[in-house]
Amino acid sequence: MVEFNLRLTTNSAEHSGSYRILELPPDIHKLIDSTFDGNAGLSIKGNKDEDAVLCTLDKTYALRSVVLSNSVLVVTPPVDASGDPDTDVVIQDTIHEVLELVPTLPRLQRLNGMLRGREYDEGHDEDEDIVVDDSNGHTRSRSKLTYDDARSMLQASELELALGLRDRHILILDGELRPLASSYLTAILEFLLTALVSYSLSHHSAPTEQVVTILEQDHEVRSDVTRQVMGWFGEFGEDSWKMNVAATVREVGLGILRAFRNEPIVEDQFLAKWRAAVGDTFESSVDLILLLGNYLTNRQPLDETAPPLLTYFPASDLPSDPAGRFADLFLTRARWKAEEISPFLSDIVVDNKERDKLLLKYARGITDSQGIWYTARAKQG
């Protein structure tokens, strides 16, 4: 058996705290093993005021420190003057914690602030000088945000950033990110639906260039805007476009519902408006299930038999941190049915398991003849 002498490095102060142990989950370990050129597309992102995350090409992981019950020594063999290793083993550092990787949602909340004042609406020229008010009441030019800027600044993988821009309806115009105004998006989608019907085009395979030309000539919608909207709400073939009917119908419904944030609308009236907006061809796809997490349902006062009322209440307007999210939800309603509160949590959890953990932490479940209800957990004094 070979024996070694164990000793501390003469530069212990210099090396102390310079080593970290990172525990890789199976999927990242597999990713690294399957990468032949050594580039697995891993990157660590985070500013000084942010907790660091590790991103792959399609996922984001939070870095979490876990204290070890037993310390781990980082040792290296030294070399003597001739360049040959001797029998000493040198302790370079002592590690008391290991870093774990936990799947987390991409952190894209900063986009709203970064793009405030850059909204693109009907008739807006891409080169117009956009100004915003600062904290002192003065106006100043709003700096442009490019896709590369967002990719370097935001804690999200490449795929998650692309999906986040799509879900938030953010255009890329001449390299600059511009949120598309909700009202203009609804109008463009209605133009698309009308064009398909008026020109007898199949929504399963509509000629891409013809659709783009129709909207440009008939409604003065920029061609690059139309193409990006079509990409959000469908798939492109070689020279055709297949519409995602559910996504398109859903967005048109949201466009109508947004007008009823402060004053509710009778459910039957809303559904009638929605069906009229999408037309006879697509009215069979109208379903309130598409809008879960964006509205509240209430019964009309003094008449329980009357159709319910709908109020626009989007989860996207609620705080992204769990404590703030539950506080707002229970300020809005003292108690929630399980199936009613779940849609308002789906955007802040990775999966249903995490959602159930949050419900256990921030809410108290009560079961009666109508099912499970959740109320705010009593504050600890």
Q: For residue 89, what is the enclosing H or E element?
A: strand 88-104
The answer to whether the 5-104 and 110-125+152-243 domains have the same CATH topology is no
Report pLDDT for 381.
41
Report pLDDT for 380.
45
Tens-digit pLDDT profile for residues 305-322: 778 999 999 999 999 999
Alpha-carbon distance 299 to 321, whole Å? 30
Between 33 and 255, the higher pLDDT residue: 255
Q: Tell me the domain boundaries of the chain.
A: 5-104, 110-125+152-243
Report pLDDT for 374.
95
Report pLDDT for 85.
61
Alpha-carbon distance 108 to 60, whole Å? 11
| Local confidence band at 81 (pLDDT 50, 70, 90 cut-offs) | low
CATH tag for 5-104 (out of 2.60.40, 1.10.10, 1.10.40, 3.30.70): 2.60.40
Report pLDDT for 283.
95
Query: Which residues does residue 295 pair with via DSSP β-bridges, in sequence order?
Result: 312
Are the CB atoms for 44 and 51 separated by under 8 Å? no
Nearest to 139 by CA among 131, 147, 149: 131
What's the CATH code, domain 110-125+152-243?
Answer: 1.10.10
Between 106 and 32, the higher pLDDT residue: 106
Length of the chain: 381
Nearest to 90 by CA among 160, 153, 180, 15: 15
Instruction: Please provide the distance, in angstroms rounded to a whole number, between the alpha carbons at the two ends of the chain.
Output: 62
Residue 344 CB partners (closer than 8 Å, separation 6+): 293, 315, 318, 325, 329
Q: Is the pLDDT of residue 296 over 70?
A: yes
Nearest to 20 by CA among 70, 55, 66, 60: 66
Report pLDDT for 299.
79
Write out the two tokens for 210.
């013809």
Alpha-carbon distance 298 to 267, whole Å? 10
Alpha-carbon distance 131 to 255, whole Å? 27
pTM: 0.82
Between 34 and 215, the higher pLDDT residue: 215
Nearest to 238 by CA among 205, 196, 200: 205
Report pLDDT for 18.
76
Q: How far is CA 184 from CA 114, 169, 216, in A?
A: 21, 11, 14
Average pLDDT, the chain: 88
